[in-house]
Structures are given as C-alpha cells and as structure tokens.
Structure 1
Amino acid sequence: MDNRDEILITGVAGFVGREAVRQLLAKDWRVRGLIRSEAHSELAPHARLSLHKVGDISAISDWSPLVSGCRVVVHLAARAHKTGESPDASHALFRRTNVDATIALARAALAAKVKRFVFVSSAGVMGDFSQRPFTEADLPQPASAYAMSKWQSEQALQDICRQGAMELVVLRPVLVYGPGNPGNLARLVRLVKTGVPLPLASVENRRSLLNVGHLAAIITEAAHLPAAAGRTVLLADGNDVSTPELLRAFAQGMGVKARLFSMPPSLLLTIARLLGRSRDAERLLGSWQVDTKLKAELFGAFPREATIRGLIETGRSER
C-alpha cells in the first residue's frame, strides 16, 4: 500500500475496530480513526495513526473536515443494542445513529471525492433464522430494529454512490468472536465458566461464526481490492459449528470441563416458551448459516483449525 494513502475508520475503539486498525497499519495505511472519547480508546500510539475525538456520531453536523484527503472510508461505528427505552424511542435512536449518520458521512465522502466506501453492515439483515444457508441473492428480511437500520443504510448508500464515482463495498458479518468479545458470546463464555450443567449435549444445529482477525483482514482487503467494488458480501469463517462444539471449545480455553448432558431439544423449547425465553432457546438450539462462497472467492478461505483455535482463545481470555 502506498504510504500516502489515508483511510478514515469510524468505531476504532471497538472490538472489531481495534483489530482493523492494527491490520491496516501493518499494511502501511495511514489511519485516521474516530473515537467517542479518549476514555474509550485503548489503541497504542503509532506514527501513521491519528485519533479524532468526535463524541456521538449522530451529533456530527459537518463530516467534511474528517473525510477530506482520505482515499477510503470504513464505517464501523453503530448503535448495536437497546438500553431499555420504549420501542418507538429505540427505533428513533437506531435510525439517527445507524442510518442518518451513515448518510451524512457518505454524502460528505462523495463530495470529498473519496474513492471507496466500505460499510460494515450485518448478516442479521437476512433474518433471525435460516432453513438453509443464506446467500447474497436472498431477499433481506430484517426482524430487529438494529437489522432494519443496517438494511436501510445499505439501500441509502447504494443510492448515494450511484450519484458519483465513489465505490461501495457492503460487508455483512455474522456473529464475531475473539478474545474479549462483547455481547451474547461473552455471556455464554461466562455461563460455561460457572460449571453449571447445561442440557445441550444432544443439540445438532449449525451456526456460522466469524473470527475477529479474519474480519479485520477482510476489511483491510475490501479497502482496495478491485474485485470487491460494488459487491455485497456475507461474511463467516465458513466452518460452522454446533452449540456443543462451541461450548466445549470455550471450556477447553478456560481449562474447565464442559458439563453438558442430553435433553431432547423439543422439550427444551417447550420449557423455554413456558419461561418466556423462546428467542434465547432458539438461538442456542436452532441453526443460522450463511453461504461463504463469494467471501472465499474474494477474500480467501479460513481453515477450520483456525476457527477452533480462535474459539479456544476466546475462552482462554476469560480465565
């Protein structure tokens, strides 16, 4: 990479953002990273890294100074979780942060003659459950406010990029794992760590997952790979695992025994419904897969042993 090339990346202090910055710097990019505040940044100083405190991205009134001079924009920052507000308020917040701010950034990038806009969306736009692996040809059916906001952003970006010469790459990652990962996987790791017996030994589902390092490498490639221009790509390792395999890998990393016993999944679902936890049970028991043919064609395959090793390392980080 020409060391004169500068890339703007939002959300650099996040789980994915930190790894993406590390890999972009390793490829000789000059990185202009946006952070909410200094307190949220754990990035080490680097000669080719400049950090800009911007606060809430939905409050940025003028993106022009931030995108000026950049060849590529990678948009990672997003509001991902509800925080207890009403459904109407939640939808409005997702819209303001994930859609309106994305549109404002993209318009400023287009005006600044940015060559490429890489948008990190979500495979969740495809829907909550899959009868077969989703492909890029399938019609998105977002079920949550978050997924809907990502799908609306994708459509808006397509319209904006058609107005000029800015290339668009849309990446749709599945659930991302790695040491220090937040969210649902972190809660699952902590559950295994307690040693509580779990009735999941008979579950034979398949779940697509994505290694954080692999995602960061894909983002780095997507910033310049000619064949990626104009593409929307579902991202996963391509090495789908069952829930028992996932739990055993976490347990191995933590140096504990995965205490799993058998119970018919149909009975587990019935119990979960009675307890009002149907969606949680469906995530543990059901399958959710994406087809990675296009991902592998553009960005390469990811070895199964690397997936298992990454899951073990994820568990080890919680020791």
Structure 2
Amino acid sequence: MLLITGSNGFLGAALCTFLNDIKIDYKSVSRRGYAGSISVGNIDAHTQWSEALRDIDVIVHAAARVHVMNDASLDPLTEFRKVNVEGTLNLARQAVAAGVSRFVFISSIKVNGESTELGLPFFADDLAVPLDPYGVSKYEAEQGLLQLAKETGLEVVIIRPPLVYGPGVKANFAAMMKWLNKGIPLPLGAIHNQRSLVALDNLVDLIVTCIDHPAAANQIFLAGDGEDLSTTELLQKMAKALDVSSRLIPVPMWCLQFGARLFGKQAMAQRLCGSLQVDISKARNVLGWRPPLTVDEALQKTADDFLQRNA
C-alpha cells in the first residue's frame, strides 16, 4: 500500500489520478483532508502519522512548504525547515517504526543550484550548491533521509525536478499562456538560453517507476523531459499549442538584463534569460526510464486544459 502526501497539490493530485487509472491502492494525506484524504494538520516535527502509516509499504512525500517569490517571512529558512526538514524527518522516523520499506522524496533542482553554464547541465551526483532557503531546506532533508537510510535500512529515493508544467499549472507558466493567448507582444524573441522542464505526466511516470524499482534504492535522480528549450523556443511552441501567433519582439538579452537591474527584477531576468539544464541520463541508465511524453505533446495537453478552463 502506498501513502501519498500533499495529495491536494499540483503534483500530488496528478499522481493520485494516475494511480486510480492504473488501479494501484493508496492512501492520501493532506493538511485538511481534501477529497477523501486523511487530515494530518500542519506538517512539522510534531505531526502524528500513526493512522496514515497503518499498512503502508511505500511513501511518496510530495508535501512541502514550496518556494514562493517575494517571501514575506522574517526568517524564511526557519519556516522552510519546519516543514521541509523537521516535518519530513519526523514522518520518515515514524515510517521506520511502522515498517515502511521505501521513502520517495520529491526534492528540487534548487538543491543543485540556481543556474548552469550553457551546455553544462547539472548531473544527479554533482556536489549540491543550494543558494536560497528553499533549496537549503530540501538539501538538509535529503541529507537527513540518507543518514536515516544508513542507520535503519529504510530505502530512500530522491527525485529533483526542475520547473513542472502541465494541465492546471499556475504562476508564471500560466501567465505566459495568458499573455500569448491574448496576443500581447512580448520582448522575448531573441533569448538564446537553454532550460530544462519536466511535464507533469513525465514526473508522475518517474515517481511511479521509483516506487518499486530495485535499482532506485538510495539513489538521487534528476527529472526532465530530455529536451531543453530557450525561452524564445518555449514561447513559440506554447503559442503553436494554443493555436495563436507568437508576437515576440527580438529585444537583445543585454537590454532585458539591463532593464531588469534598473527596476530591481534581476530574479525574473535570470529565469527568462539564464540557463538551467539537467541531465537525466542516470534515470535512463539505472532505471531504464524514458519520458513518455515529448515536449510538444505535453505542451499541447497543457494548452488544451488552459483553453478549456478559460473558455
């Protein structure tokens, strides 16, 4: 029996839907017991998991305090640690006591760092260089889980996804689709970076592979679609999926970066102009895993859902 945490989130909900489709039994938990899931309240060092852990063999821990732009917390790292480190390790220790055999932890590519040089992707076994509080908290949780694995025999699998997109995606990805669909001209037609993304369906497929694959035990995997895109290419493909013209103005990257510095938007400029590539060869070689959807197929599913929601 599986236990899925964060079952009402973007990833957790998609994972539960997929498990329903392939008829795999699971229990789900969320803070408030959404959609028939077990309510556990806030996830921290004091959460009681005994009811949820009954008869569980494998946990997929997708619940987290997620990265947000312009975090208003006075001490963001402390707040991230409460959920992502203390909450995760509390669950893992109780899982060991309950006889759980495997713990699949959804981490973040931010553990590797914030950016890569063009053509020099992150690898799964690279030295971790987390730079922001969210990335630090995920790295500390990973380290705690791997230490617990050494001490107890619990099998730990760590998956680090980059930006996840798919039906129901929100935030910046949804905003870009909205701008494109409205025909708003965007000054993003001459960006020559490379970024890795992972489609929601591809990430769910990797997670399901890691639930019981013998070779996944105590390994770290990077998730991705296996096809990197520049911001310009992504917008062009997205416009095609939406069946609209991409009105992209070829403003040089140095102009965008200069303007971003003037207006204090360096972080946004980094996401639009910087590169962040991941190498998924370890998942391919160790697990025999291949992303089931191409980027074009995944963008089409995302666009169709967006159009249906905004009809």
DSSP 3-state at the match of 2:44:
helix
Judged with a 3 Å threshold, the aligned counterparts in structure 2 of structure 1 residues 147 and 222 are, in CA distance, closer, same or farther, namely: same
Task: Please state how far the C-alpha of 1:166 moved relative to its aligned partner.
Answer: 1.1
Q: Which amino acid aligns with 2:9?
A: G
Query: 1:56 is matched with which residue?
Result: 42
DSSP 3-state at the match of 1:34:
strand
CA-to-aligned-CA distance 1:188-233 (integer Å, 9 cap, x gap): 2223233221122111111101010111111111110001111101
- How is 1:178-189 mapped onto 2 (pairs within 5 angstroms)? 178-189=166-177
CA-to-aligned-CA distance 1:48-67 (integer Å, 9 cap, x gap): xx621222222753222221
Moved more, 221-230 or 61-70: 61-70
Is 1:29 aligned to 2:29, yes or no? no
DSSP 3-state at the match of 1:69:
coil
Q: Structure 2: how far apart are the matches of 1:126 and 1:59? A: 25
* Runs of at least 5 residues in structure 1 that lack an aligned partner in the other structure: 1-5, 42-49
- How is 1:226-245 mapped onto 2 (pairs within 5 angstroms)? 226-245=214-233
2:91 to 77, 97, 105: 105
Q: Structure 2: how far apart are the matches of 1:178 and 1:85? A: 25
Judged with a 3 Å threshold, the aligned counterparts in structure 2 of structure 1 residues 203 and 109 are, in CA distance, closer, same or farther, namely: same
DSSP 3-state at the match of 2:206:
helix
- How is 1:183-222 mapped onto 2 (pairs within 5 angstroms)? 183-222=171-210
Moved more, 51-60 or 199-208: 51-60
Judged with a 3 Å threshold, the aligned counterparts in structure 2 of structure 1 residues 198 and 86 are, in CA distance, closer, same or farther, namely: closer
Is 1:121 aligned to 2:116, yes or no? no
Is 1:280 aligned to 2:268, yes or no? yes
Q: Which amino acid aligns with 2:164?
A: V
Q: Structure 2: how far apart are the matches of 1:204 and 1:241? A: 9
DSSP 3-state at the match of 1:117:
strand
Moved more, 65-74 or 192-201: 192-201
Q: Which amino acid aligns with 1:123?
A: I
2:289 to 293, 297, 300: 300
Q: Structure 2: how far apart are the matches of 1:123 and 1:270? A: 27
Q: Structure 1: how far apart are the matches of 2:48 and 2:184? A: 51
Question: TM-score, normalised to structure 2's length?
Answer: 0.92
Q: Structure 2: how far apart are the matches of 1:75 and 1:281? A: 32
- Paired residues of 1:110 and 1:161 also in contact (CA < 8 A): no
Q: Structure 2: how far apart are the matches of 1:77 and 1:125? A: 17
Is 1:73 aligned to 2:71, yes or no? no
Task: Please state how far the C-alpha of 1:250 moved relative to its aligned partner.
Answer: 2.1
Judged with a 3 Å threshold, the aligned counterparts in structure 2 of structure 1 residues 26 and 318 are, in CA distance, closer, same or farther, namely: closer
Q: Structure 1: how far apart are the matches of 2:124 and 2:204? A: 20
DSSP 3-state at the match of 1:207:
coil
CA-to-aligned-CA distance 1:247-293 (integer Å, 9 cap, x gap): 12222233321100212111211111111111101211111101111
Q: Structure 2: how far apart are the matches of 1:285 and 1:163? A: 43
Moved more, 57-66 or 272-281: 57-66
Task: Please state how far the C-alpha of 1:27 moved relative to its aligned partner.
Answer: 3.9
Task: Please state how far the C-alpha of 1:70 moved relative to its aligned partner.
Answer: 0.5
* Runs of at least 5 residues in structure 2 that lack an aligned partner in the other structure: none
Q: Structure 2: how far apart are the matches of 1:227 and 1:16? A: 23
Task: Please state how far the C-alpha of 1:86 moved relative to its aligned partner.
Answer: 4.5
Q: Structure 2: how far apart are the matches of 1:165 and 1:27? A: 29
Task: Please state how far the C-alpha of 1:84 moved relative to its aligned partner.
Answer: 6.0
Q: Structure 2: how far apart are the matches of 1:286 and 1:85? A: 22
Q: Which amino acid aligns with 1:163?
A: E
Q: Structure 2: how far apart are the matches of 1:312 and 1:202? A: 23
Is 1:162 aligned to 2:146, yes or no? no
| Identity level (%) | 37
What is the alpha-carbon root mean square deviation over aligned residues? 1.9
